[in-house]
Structure 1
Amino acid sequence: MEVLMACETHALLNELRQSVDGKAMDAIERLIREAPDHKLCHINVLDFASKVGLDEERAIAAFLHATQMGIFELSWNVLCPACGGVLNTHATLKTVRREEYACELCAAGFKLTLDELVEVAFTVAARVRRIAGHSPETLPIWEYYRQVLWSSGVDLPEAFEPVMENAILDSVELPAGERAQLSLPIPAAYVVVFEPVIHAAQFLDVSGEPTSERQNVSVVYNNVRAPTEAIQLRPGPLHLLLENRTNFRILPTVWVMGTAVHNLLAHRKPFLTGKRLLCNQTFRDLYGTETLDADQQLQITNLTFLFTDLKGSTALYKRLGDLAAFHLVREHFHVLTEIVAAQGGAIVRTIGDAVMATFPTADRAVAAALRMREAMLSLNEEHKREDLVLKIGIHEGPCLAVIQNGRQDYFGQTVNIAARVQELAVSRSIVVTGRVVENLQTSMLLDANNLKPVAKGAALRGIAEEMTVFEIP
């Protein structure tokens, strides 16, 4: 069996090499063959790219191609914004249906957005390499915390087990249908009996004068989670009875919510968000309309939209003739698509000779716009004419990710404003809104290119209030 798996893996990796950057391919192959099991479960592709010296976009594209071939499995994980715990794991974004989530450990609720609360992680497929994470019900308790509970954005120490043991008072592995009794002293602190498999928590508010009398607390776990109030206790001995009425193993742990826990979870690193993946051109090319269901609407707090249009395209067809103009316009589309992808964005749709694209951040959109303008100048020089004159508009803000007319799209006032801002652009100009130029990275980019945006008031079609927009010369 292992020989067959090795042969299949070798064949898959050779096939992947045909469509993936060589450096990225070498790094992925080393990862699969040499990494310990826990590094192949919920892989943080941005962290991986940083550690092996890869461009992030190339790394993301490589992992997406590998996933499409069955080398990795992709998961969409809903995260707690406070502790970074994974509250739900989904094989597809289509099954992310709830608008609100609650973290039992943090005793807090929040509304779901794709910006920082949905993590996209990769796990090696069992057909390629069998790892312990493929059977989470068999993982030792601390490996369950590391590989399953915490997101890939929590920067956990390599020496994870001793750090965890320093942060907790006691723990137990409790098989289905069994009970356990823990006897332990509890300090004056906020203590939580937390169970990571079903995300259940019982808070203990320990305060007042210490006592030598034993205090009894019983916690029953079943398949129904109901909110429970904190139990008032005094510092001193505790007899804790734990009962597992579920049909699977659980891992109750007694935490002291203090410095040790804070230090454990305080260090974070960038991770691939749901928003960023939806903005990725490779993802859109490979997965198309498979991302969302027709009735789904997922909130994005902030996304940057770029619209382009060719000035005088009707006259262009008349001047050059349909065939020549068509080839020139198609060449311009090809160039724009490459530029958008290189800046971590994606083409959402084309409308006639216009383009709508999205970017995870405003500076990436502006960088793309500047490159587009230069690229059109180069194309005109190459064809020894001045036919390609591009008008560009950029705006950012909240929106909804939806399926519209059979494709993954975006809806909301932000989209409308971005399209109207583009209409204000004149020959070769880039017009952006205040939100875009106020972005720190955008300001640094413009300063580096000695570009000073010029502010002006504008009435946008269909928008009631006049806006201040900025033209980038």
Structure 2
Amino acid sequence: MSEAQSLFAVLRQSADTDCVAALERLVRDAPDRRLARINVLEFAGREGLKEERTIATFLQAAQIGLLDMSWNVLCPSCSGVLDANTSLKSVRSQEYYCAFCNLNNEPTLDDMVEVSFTVNPRVRRIAVHDPDQLPLWEYYRQVFWGRGVDLPEEGLEAAMQQVTLDAVELPAGEKAFLSLQLPAGFVIVLEPVSHAAQFINVTGEPTQDRQNVTLVYNNLRAPTGEITLRPGTIRLSLENRTATRALPTVWVVDDKFAALVGKRRPFLTAKRLLSNQTFRDIYRTDTLDVDQRLKITSLTFLFTDLKGSTELYERVGDLVAFDLVREHFRTLNEIVAAEGGAVVKTIGDAVMATFLTPDHALSAALRMREAMRRLNSTHGREDLLLKIGIHEGPCLAVNLNERQDYFGQTVNIASRVQGLAQTRSILATAPVIDNPKSAEVLSSNGQKPMAQSHPLRGVAAEVAVYEIP
């Protein structure tokens, strides 16, 4: 039995059967380019699979060594990969510079860090395992751009040639000279390996004189320069002083170019993965460094607590109460996972969970309340009285007490909103209720939130809070 067959046999023991079968077909039959930085969401859609099950399968495949996981920092403008990391721990919180767009951006986990998967070379060796050997346009597809860029599956080279004046592969230490006719407009000379760019603003009257430009590639990432030239002939002198090949490409940036490289599709973000229960179960403490602080611009927090749990232990005894509380935790965990969220931690009888969007948190809260009602009906007593608070906003992903956690005022408000809740109450703030998809959830359940206003400790202004009856 080959190593790949052995690893798939292991994967089948824990992962979704259909997802494993689809992944095995991909590894066995797909062309190399489709096994490099796999976009899990695109793969799930193409195969007709549930996204959450597919993500879980890929995570389990990475855990056993079938796939290698990569955390890619993207430029939010062009979706170029500015940095590729084998761990989130390597993603720095300082700004990343994109030469292509001439922009500095502070990374956020919402849409600037994508998570992709590449087949491990022990399972199948593919071209991207030796990126210096990739053809020019496949280098752009497989290495330079992120998985959210929707490039043509077939005929990429022909499509790129339509917007390219010239391109050359320049070995380490070599020089090259290109003679080109510059059209009026905007031209970029981009070198994707070193992420160096030169902007050329081509304007004015055409000239018969030859214009000369020299570009030297080294290991320094200098700011993008801009020069102004006139339409006409240019002699472009290129020198590669790096230890690897360079791939300078001369592009005409126009509507045709934007149409080719501007299409986007969904991809798996770091934010989504951190709120994935399978990821948290597998990686637990090995996610962030102690001193690392990474921003998330929007995350929804749900806090729960059991009302009167102390009295419950006194009333029914430790053993019965323990079984009831454990059943309550198991039920809440199942609901959180089913709504695409993750349990961050439990504190006594309380739960802190995260969701990508407010509507999923609200749907989970309604399901939790109904589930507690059913449990109480089954046991014939009103023992499990759940209080729930929900809030959405920005936060920091951090490492606290040897676990991946969250920090910030959004977390504080969510916790304190839960503290206002009475027996069986669901309280949510305005950002949750005002979300358009939340309105759909409430409408489908026949719920009409009732506005309240409460002072919260540590919050200067009163916070609009809504009770879901």
Normalised by the length of structure 1, the TM-score is 0.98
Deviation track 1:68-110 (CA, whole Å, cap 9, x = no partner) reads: 0000000000001111111110000111114211211111121
1:73-472 equivalent positions in 2, closer than 5 A: 73-158=68-153, 159-472=155-468
Distance 1:266 1:178 in 2: 33
Equivalent residue, structure 1, for 2:53: 58
Distance 1:167 1:385 in 2: 71
Distance 1:462 1:131 in 2: 55
Instruction: Kindly state the Cα deviation for residue 424 of structure 1 after the two structures are TM-superposed.
Output: 1.4
Query: In the alignment, residue 69 of structure 1 is paired with which amino acid?
Result: I
Distance 2:86 2:159 in 1: 31
Distance 2:246 2:424 in 1: 62
Q: Tell me which moved more, 256-265 or 283-292.
A: 256-265
Deviation track 1:150-206 (CA, whole Å, cap 9, x = no partner) reads: 111111112211111112111000000000111110101111110001110011111
Distance 1:471 1:402 in 2: 31
Counterpart contact for 2:102–2:224, Cα < 8 Å: no
Deviation track 1:43-70 (CA, whole Å, cap 9, x = no partner) reads: 1101111111111111100000000000
Say if 2:44 is the partner of 1:49: yes
Equivalent residue, structure 2, for 1:3: none
Q: Tell me which moved more, 68-77 or 254-263.
A: 254-263
Check 1:354–1:228 CA distance in 2 against 1; reply closer, same or farther (3 A cut): closer
Equivalent residue, structure 2, for 1:38: 33
Instruction: Kindly state the Cα deviation for residue 229 of structure 1 after the two structures are TM-superposed.
Output: 3.0
Counterpart contact for 2:345–2:351, Cα < 8 Å: yes
Deviation track 1:398-435 (CA, whole Å, cap 9, x = no partner) reads: 11111111111111000000000101111212100000
Check 1:228–1:277 CA distance in 2 against 1; reply closer, same or farther (3 A cut): closer
Instruction: Kindly state the Cα deviation for residue 461 of structure 1 after the two structures are TM-superposed.
Output: 2.5
Counterpart contact for 1:84–1:265, Cα < 8 Å: no
Query: In the alignment, residue 174 of structure 1 is paired with which amino acid?
Result: L
Distance 1:286 1:169 in 2: 48
Distance 1:226 1:148 in 2: 21
Distance 1:229 1:97 in 2: 25
Q: Tell me which moved more, 260-269 or 428-437.
A: 260-269
Distance 2:227 2:190 in 1: 14
Counterpart contact for 1:100–1:110, Cα < 8 Å: yes
Percent identical residues: 62
Counterpart contact for 2:427–2:467, Cα < 8 Å: yes
Distance 2:161 2:424 in 1: 62
Counterpart contact for 1:78–1:117, Cα < 8 Å: yes
Deviation track 1:357-381 (CA, whole Å, cap 9, x = no partner) reads: 1111111111111111111112112
Distance 1:200 1:462 in 2: 47
Distance 2:373 2:50 in 1: 27
Normalised by the length of structure 2, the TM-score is 0.98
Distance 2:366 2:93 in 1: 39
Distance 1:382 1:31 in 2: 46
Instruction: Kindly state the Cα deviation for residue 446 of structure 1 after the two structures are TM-superposed.
Output: 1.2
For 1:230, what is the secondary structure of its paired residue?
strand
For 1:396, what is the secondary structure of its paired residue?
strand
Query: In the alignment, residue 106 of structure 1 is paired with which amino acid?
Result: C
Distance 1:438 1:50 in 2: 30
**Structure 2: unaligned runs, 5 residues or longer:** none
Distance 2:292 2:214 in 1: 41
Distance 2:418 2:363 in 1: 16
Distance 2:52 2:33 in 1: 24
* Partner residue of 2:23 out of 4, 25, 28: 28
Distance 2:369 2:162 in 1: 57
Counterpart contact for 1:42–1:147, Cα < 8 Å: yes
Query: In the alignment, residue 14 of structure 1 is paired with which amino acid?
Result: A
Instruction: Kindly state the Cα deviation for residue 464 of structure 1 after the two structures are TM-superposed.
Output: 2.3
For 2:299, what is the secondary structure of its paired residue?
strand
**Structure 1: unaligned runs, 5 residues or longer:** 1-5
Query: In the alignment, residue 393 of structure 1 is paired with which amino acid?
Result: G
Instruction: Kindly state the Cα deviation for residue 270 of structure 1 after the two structures are TM-superposed.
Output: 0.8
Q: CA RMSD in A?
A: 1.0
Counterpart contact for 2:66–2:119, Cα < 8 Å: yes
Distance 1:316 1:304 in 2: 30
Distance 1:166 1:425 in 2: 62
Instruction: Kindly state the Cα deviation for residue 462 of structure 1 after the two structures are TM-superposed.
Output: 2.7
For 2:295, what is the secondary structure of its paired residue?
strand
Distance 1:265 1:141 in 2: 15
Instruction: Kindly state the Cα deviation for residue 228 of structure 1 after the two structures are TM-superposed.
Output: 4.4
Counterpart contact for 1:190–1:256, Cα < 8 Å: yes
Distance 1:188 1:160 in 2: 25
Instruction: Kindly state the Cα deviation for residue 252 of structure 1 after the two structures are TM-superposed.
Output: 0.4
Distance 1:244 1:355 in 2: 56
Q: Tell me which moved more, 436-445 or 136-145.
A: 436-445
Check 1:439–1:189 CA distance in 2 against 1; reply closer, same or farther (3 A cut): same
Distance 1:207 1:238 in 2: 13
